[in-house]
Structure 1
């Protein structure tokens, strides 16, 4: 069982929940954000990971500004590809297991069926392409890796779709939400629990890990309002209206279908992650505290 774990992107939405969970479980954690370790600096990665000597590295750091990446291509690749290479090399040198957090954006999003782990990738956005480049770095340079693709992530820390809708729903008279993009919302705490289970094994490979079941952004918003009214007692003024992707054009193309099949979770004997609506309820209960 790995006892010393280094986490990159430790101040981010997922990273913070991963660190908190590890600390609660009694692990010795080195929580690294940009200030503690610049992943784009190979020497710094080698020094910090080398001196700490972790048994596992959970690499949450990433350039996740999907629209900004379309124009700042170098920054996306510097962080998601080169930064990942640096973390992979340094982890491999100390014999650490490496968990790389990836994304549904590595697929084209045009398929009608859920994507499984061994389907061909075909990213359409710079963000997706740079994250796929990171996957290739990990597969090439690490002998003990878990690539974990996830989708529609939200949690207590940082800004996300759920928090935005809770705010706008109480301020706006009307909200239009996209109803032709489908995916699986993923609660950071549920994902963090799965990552912890994973590093205790040698079941290396590519995993799709999101909360199970799927919905559109519009259906997700309906659920957010319904559950928040019940759990938090909030009153929403906004009238919800479904709309199309074309009505909300963004610089980066969004996958129409982000639903991912959890083939590796099943075939490796792990328990599937609970349905997204249960995760949402837990998140709202956490906000209530």
Structure 2
């Protein structure tokens, strides 16, 4: 069971969901048919908040007193997608067959729609710096449901104006992952010929120029570790400028100030969070049965099925 869950989580963590499943109407845990699948949870009581279940990739309502997930839409192929950022409340939501993708904002009690995509489009979080600098990956599909790769493009979303702006010099690139370091958007592009990834950069103050800076990355994940670009291979995440500075790679990896937060599957098949000091490389804490981890004002909040923990 552990291996099955681990495979499932790895597949779900791929940025672009494949067109899987079937078109048959399906029921979720609240009895809603697929035609009504788009509902998202709300926090109905004072002791409830909205979290992001990192295992199922779905927003849930969570009881802070009982440490329980109260409500979750489990419709097959309908999920929410997060940035690699522990502070933002911006997500996207959509169905891998029906589409109906949206950019949404998770507030404390409710969810607000910020932008709706066209019927044949999907949108996925790519890189987040702040509410003024967030980037998404837009994909477009033909009538058969197959992606039109030449139309894949990075988009900048302006929260105040609710405008989605395509970065035309990225159109047609098989972009997979991205991160912002200072004023540079770094993103990886899948190289079909070599079955690896090329690394590109784009100055967010000059979006009319895209530079290829490296070839041959084994995997596409990229990270911002305290203002430095980190890249990855199948087993390690490491400093782009000095690959001797590295950490083991887990399924999910988040940097937050002097901490590396990593999520994996434990022996019981539950999510396990490990927090490591990036300076000393000492493991500070480990948490099992994890639902979500959030950060705000240098504090980290861990929500599990047993407890809520705050770390400074």
More strand by share: 2
Q: Structure 1 length normalisation: TM-score?
A: 0.27
Q: Structure 2 length normalisation: TM-score?
A: 0.26
More helix by share: 1
